[in-house]
Amino acid sequence: MISGQKGSAKASLSWSFFPHGKKGITPIIAIILLLMMTVAVAGAAFFWLSRIQNQLQGGVESYQGTIFTQMSSAVNVVDADYDSGDANLTIFFQNTGNTKIPVVDHNAFPTTTWILKDFNQVTRCSTSNWNSTSDADCQEGCGDDLFIDVGEIHKVVLNLENDCAIDIGDDGGKVFYFTVDFSGKTTSSGSFIALST
């Protein structure tokens, strides 16, 4: 509502939007409100960035722990001998790392994977388990909850059948290579000579 006198438009305008004749927020209050909004936005940004940083750091720490575990897991093949009489391959593994290594013989994770290559490095067979339904049946040294302890030398006896079978007539005296993956914890490779007994 504008009230005024004739003659001077500038002096005659009076705004009734503000009670008691106040015409707006004083500059000091406006600056205080702006500072409070700035502090609130900065605080929200700080907590948001802190949360993101904590999530990233947790992911890095988890990945780092996995990498350190894999780096500190090591299994060496001490000896591998093939007996053509009963088609058994006897392997001695030694855990030279600092974590227990699973030696399991079932289809569900964790699994022990076996790859056998012939003298030309051509894969002859591959199995994802060492149970009686596979081409490499574990006769000794594997099980559902079996581990190779740190420093232990562990004996595994595999009966090589079907695709993994070695024909001494054709393969006798030749070197065969194998790789064993212990549930993604570590791998180990070795070789043996197929000799007739």
What is the band of 112 on the pLDDT scale with cuts at 50, 70, 90? Answer: confident
Residue 168 clears pLDDT 60, i.e. is over it? yes
Which pLDDT does position 1 carry in this prediction? Answer: 45
Residue 184's region, left for phi above 0, alpha for psi from -120 to 50, else beta, is left
Question: For residue 24, what are the CA distances in angstroms to 30, 32, 142?
Answer: 10, 15, 84
Give Cβ neighbours of residue 72 (< 8 Å, ≥ 6 apart). Answer: 97, 98, 99
Round to whole Å and give the CA distance between 141 and 103.
8
Could you tell me the residue ranges of all domains in the chain? 19-71, 75-193
The domain made up of 75-193 has a fold known as: Immunoglobulin-like (2.60.40)
Decide if 87 contacts 165 (C-beta within 8 A).
Answer: yes
Of 16-30, 33-47, 167-181, give the lowest mean pLDDT range: 16-30
Model confidence over 59-73: pLDDT tens digits?
A: 888 888 777 776 778
The pTM score is 0.63
